[in-house]
Amino acid sequence: MDLKGKKAIVFGGTSGIGLATTRMLADAGATVVAVSRDPSKATNLPEGVTTAACDVQDREAVAAVCSAAGPYDVLISAATGGPRAAGPFMEMDLDAYQNSFAKVWGYANVLRQGVSHLKNDGCAVLVSGAPARKARPGQVAISSAGGAVEALAKCVAKEIVPKRLNVVSPGVIDTPMFGPDEAKRKEMTSNATKANLIPRAGTAEEVAQAIMLVVQNDFMTGVTVDVDGGWLNS
């Protein structure tokens, strides 16, 4: 896909991985709508990018945003959907565990409402995470939700042909999700990646490059691309 003159909508497109993707799409010549719960907080958006406010848990709001933006060539969701529980399953608050699946419901809303406005030669992308297939202790909630996202994408990819759907699965990425304190964020990501083949956190731009790959490669659908610093092989 040549992105010049194309149109893209990016949920979670004003921060972290979504923002990096928004920038790359705009640099490649696409018109981009960056969607987030509070676009007023967005900074450093490329010139020409428009914003829209939407909580991916609000199905009617998602439908309205997609309808207003469509038709488009690229549909991406990097929105986290909400908080995720951590810790051993046998000690976990099960309500918190259940709430961790907000990410799945958010992605389901985006796909259900968004794919109908995606052009037939277009591509949708979801963002999962390395724990989906290799969880470390305390990651049962993250792993369960991520696994559900990847299963959802494989099934839906078969149903929406000729439209394409892929997943990008990052490892530990240095983004605002780890908090605003840079020193604490560096300590957390360093501890979490010291056993990886590449013992550092990834960047939002490195993940966005993989998103751009599955968007632009017309021969890829129903796949998960790992950008994890060797998490799965460590």
CATH number for 168: 3.40.50.720
Distances from the Cα of 34 to the Cα of 46, 58, 139, 202, angstroms: 10, 17, 30, 22
Examine residue 154 and state whether it is found in any structural domain, yes or no: yes
Q: Where are the alpha helices (DSSP H) in the chain?
A: 16-27, 59-69, 94-99, 102-114, 140-159, 182-193, 204-216
Provide the whole-model pTM.
Answer: 0.94
Examine residue 131 and state whether it is found in any structural domain, yes or no: yes
Cα–Cα distance, 10 to 1 (Å, whole number): 17
Which residues on adjacent β-strands are paired with residue 75?
Answer: 9, 124
Domain that holds residue 81: 7-228
Contacts with 58 (C-beta within 8 Å, 6 or more apart), sequence order:
109
Cα–Cα distance, 104 to 158 (Å, whole number): 18
What's at 209, amino acid-wise? Q
Which parts of the chain register pLDDT below 50? none
Examine residue 234 and state whether it is found in any structural domain, yes or no: no
Predicted pLDDT of residue 187: 86
Which of 38, 44, 50, 46 lies closest to 12 in space, CA to CA? 38
Predicted pLDDT of residue 159: 98
Examine residue 87 and state whether it is found in any structural domain, yes or no: yes
Examine residue 1 and state whether it is found in any structural domain, yes or no: no
Examine residue 2 and state whether it is found in any structural domain, yes or no: no
Examine residue 233 and state whether it is found in any structural domain, yes or no: no
| Number of domains observed in the structure of the chain | 1
Which of 106, 27, 16 lies closest to 8 in space, CA to CA? 27
- Give me 87's structure tokens: 């810790």
Predicted pLDDT of residue 44: 84
Predicted pLDDT of residue 189: 87
2 burial class (0-12, 13-18, 19+ CB within 10 angstroms)?
A: exposed
Predicted pLDDT of residue 2: 96
Contact indicator for 103, 144 with CB cutoff of 8 Å: no
Which of 56, 52, 57 lies closest to 70 in space, CA to CA? 52
Predicted pLDDT of residue 42: 86
